[in-house]
Structure 1
């Protein structure tokens, strides 16, 4: 069986599942987190902001329309390709695409912006903080505006069993460290452990892979760059080799 579990939140989970089905896999969707819009604090005035940074497409999907309208004439530094596409769709006309993670976006921004420039970061409540630290060390000012949260979904055990269905999983795709931590707990449940006895875990980054506590390292792989295209290519290489 070519069953692959998708754990990312909606609406991304449905898009990922469609891509997997297009590649011939049987995609099963069990989002472990959900995206919730937050009440957004008043942003700084547009005159004081030199650029916008976005490290997740979710910040653009859930930002108040008026907020995007006020800042869409600013250069938008997007963490990766998916976020850059969302930024253009939201109305930003000058979008710089990063390599897929905040650490890689920092030097791009430091090179493009003058010392002392003020960056508005549209972000989630839960974040690593690498962008803020990197830009601050490089002499830029940054205001972080929380747009959304990503809490865990409190599934009942019977709901999880129903969603997973019968039959083992060949692979799981993991897009966040929070989902990875929850997934590690779930696969240890006696009721579901047999479904994951031979499963491989494909993560968007090594940091996410490190959150899969208790899962053998030989079963954990991460994409060479934190983009879903790279993740799916990695999945295909390993599963094709094991077919």
Structure 2
């Protein structure tokens, strides 16, 4: 597959390295180009008995949350994506449900079970969701901040390439960095929301059918084959 357009992985570490390994195993000519860096922020766990469930929409919450998670171990975790669920289990939490689409679909499923008091361990910058009547308490335990693009970014994006888009924030950042000259670039997005945040004018946009690396890389492979023709 290395004869076609390169694959650019923009997500923060440690996810970037994991995605790069998977992509190389599939035969991509892949470049690690993280545009954000994640770090913990100070937080304190509230009383677990005040909540029915814990919502995790990113693996960063479990990876960077630290020792405060111990006080929440009694709460069932509802996680978006398998990677987030694995990180939660590694942090000593019990996963009750794994959402295979996005946070809104997972919240809809929680509402159908009459789960009303939800603690959302989230990032400092977060999306808004329809709570469906539930009381959602957002509690930032990490932050993902922009970093300068790697030195090779301008050259790589000046030629045909496939970019992986793992979040809506990443989509917006890529769009801002690339500007209007984008008709030669293709995007593989983790979700419809991320794809929409990238705007229009790309050569091709493909959306993963679930929020994980296997699905987004499958879409990247399809885009690679179109770009190689």
Q: TM-score, normalization: structure 2?
A: 0.87
Compute the displacement of 1:60 (Å): 0.6
Q: Does residue 63 of the first structure (1) align with residue 65 of the second (2)?
A: yes
* SS of alignment partner, residue 172 of structure 2: helix
RMSD, matched Cα = 2.4
* SS of alignment partner, residue 160 of structure 1: coil
From the two aligned structures, give the one with the greater strand fraction.
2
The answer on whether the counterparts of 1:4 and 1:169 sit within 8 Å (CA) in structure 2 is no
Partner Cα separation in structure 2 for residue 8 and residue 166 of structure 1:
16
From the two aligned structures, give the one with the greater helix fraction.
1
Compute the displacement of 1:208 (Å): 1.6
Structure 1 regions of 5+ residues with no counterpart?
A: none
Q: TM-score, normalization: structure 1?
A: 0.82
Higher radius of gyration, 1 or 2? 1
- Identify the match of residue 54 of structure 1 among 46, 53, 56: 56
Q: Does residue 205 of the first structure (1) align with residue 191 of the second (2)?
A: yes
Partner Cα separation in structure 2 for residue 93 and residue 227 of structure 1:
20
Compute the displacement of 1:111 (Å): 2.5
- 4+ runs deviating over 4 angstroms: 162-167
- Identify the match of residue 21 of structure 1 among 21, 24, 47: 24
Compute the displacement of 1:95 (Å): 3.0
Structure 2 regions of 5+ residues with no counterpart?
A: none
Compute the displacement of 1:30 (Å): 0.9
Matched residue count? 225
Alignment of 1:145-156 (within 5 A): 145-155=139-149
